[in-house]
Amino acid sequence: MPSTVSGVNDRAVNIWPLAGMSAAGNRLFAMADPFRVRITVRGYELDTQGHLNQAVYLQYAEHARWECLRAAGISQAGLLAQGVGPVALEVTLRYLRELRGGDEVDVSCRFAWDTGKTFRVEQDYRRPDGEPVASLTGVGGLLDLRERRLVADPGERFRAMATDPKPLGL
């Protein structure tokens, strides 16, 4: 069952754990220690207030996900050769602290695999000293590029393609 916390505008927000049960009652599997990549904020990524532009947080998250796939031995070319590609179906980003030019940020990537067509992704953004900067939660899938439909079990497809499935939590 999810934990319920007070959210934006005092709405209840369900926080699903990475290990435990999904909304459908299926077991979720996730790795204990998330993959992380360090990124230095570049000057051209700043908004007019001198903060990291809000859209760049999404780019950093995507970069971390691709690096995680690469660490597992899965390349973009390999995905295309298999006729599949990862897709984002839902993303929620919470901003906690500002980042400025020259700051370093560690962006994590942790997948939670269910038995259906989708998976969850949890990413956090932290300064090198561990201070939280932002967090991202999302739902993704693996699209069959010919059929234009989600594959039945993305975790198993990723496991089959990976030379080292550990970074993916598989």
Section 39-43 average pLDDT: 98
Section 23-40 average pLDDT: 66
Domains in the chain: boundaries: 31-168
Distance CA 58, CA 62 (A): 6
Q: Percentage of residues in the chain with pLDDT exceeding 90? A: 79
Task: Classify domain 31-168 at the CATH superfamily level.
Answer: Hotdog Thioesterase (3.10.129.10)
pLDDT in the model for residue 32: 53
Instruction: Read off the amino acid at residue 90.
Output: E
16 and 120 in contact (C-beta within 8 Å)? Answer: yes
Distance CA 56, CA 166 (A): 27
Section 45-59 average pLDDT: 97
158 and 75 in contact (C-beta within 8 Å)? Answer: no
**In this predicted model, what pLDDT tens digit does every residue of 130-153 receive, in sequence order?**
999 999 999 999 999 999 999 999
Q: Is the pLDDT of residue 20 over 80?
A: no
* Higher per-residue confidence, 2 vs 53: 53
